[in-house]
């Protein structure tokens, strides 16, 4: 009798397991915030961006236009006409800038120059340090946090600066 109970229990478990619908693929929005946080952004119109983002781009990237805007759970990412990608908080505060992942011919992925205007986003002391110590080395990525800037160079050097532009740490990445 014990084996019949085990077989019946296993049968019921298998029936329930294999007969259930896949409720997680219905795009009902229940799990959209989780997907959104992992990298599946939602495309939004440029006109719906916070005014702070529009102002930041026009001030720091004159002559460049926003070609794509995506919203994520905690950030907004915009792509400029030269391939530069900028990240902002949902309120429009600058977080990060990085270059396009494609080269100018649209071919394979390479480290590309972020933008000639990138240095406008860094403190003058940081720009002076980079010009003096890494002349001609392309900036691949620059990220601003609450207390520092993190700059990654094409030669795989990472330089951390405080918000005033003083060097905190230099290392490889």
Confidence of residue 31 (pLDDT cuts 50, 70, 90): very low
pTM for the full predicted model: 0.56
Question: Is the pLDDT score of 58 beyond 50?
Answer: yes
Give the confidence band of 3 by pLDDT, cuts at 50, 70, 90: low
Q: Which of 31-45, 49-63, 141-155 has the lowest mean pLDDT?
A: 31-45
The encoded tokens of residue 136 equal 């001609």
The helix/strand/coil state of 89 is strand
Helices (H), the chain: 2-19, 32-38, 51-60, 124-133
In order of their start, the domains of the chain are 28-99 (3.40.1420.30), 122-173 (3.40.1420.30)
CA distance 83 to 86: 10
Element (H, E) at 151: strand 148-153
Residue 47: predicted pLDDT: 95
What does the pLDDT read at residue 8? Answer: 53
Which residues partner with 149 through β-bridges? Answer: 144, 161
pLDDT over 70 at 25, yes or no: no
- Maximal CA-CA distance, the chain: 84
What's the whole-number average pLDDT of the chain?
A: 75
∠ CA 161-167-170, rounded to 5°:
95
């Amino acid at each position: 009798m014990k084996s019949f109970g085990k077989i019946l229990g296993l049968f019921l478990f298998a029936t329930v397991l294999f007969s259930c619908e896949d409720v997680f693929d219905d795009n009902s929005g229940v799990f959209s915030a989780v997907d959104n946080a992992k990298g599946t952004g939602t495309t939004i119109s440029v006109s719906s961006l916070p005014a702070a983002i529009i102002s930041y781009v026009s001030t720091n990237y004159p002559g460049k236009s926003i070609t794509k805007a995506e919203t994520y759970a905690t950030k907004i990412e915009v792509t400029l006409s030269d391939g530069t990608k900028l990240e902002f908080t949902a309120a429009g505060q600058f977080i990060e800038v990085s270059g396009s992942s494609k080269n100018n011919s649209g071919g394979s992925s390479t480290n590309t120059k972020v933008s000639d205007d990138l240095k406008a986003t860094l403190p003058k002391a940081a720009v002076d340090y980079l010009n003096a110590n890494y002349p001609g080395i392309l900036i691949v990525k620059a990220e601003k946090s609450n207390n520092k800037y993190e700059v990654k160079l094409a030669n795989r050097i990472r330089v951390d600066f405080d918000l005033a532009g003083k060097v905190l740490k230099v290392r490889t990445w």
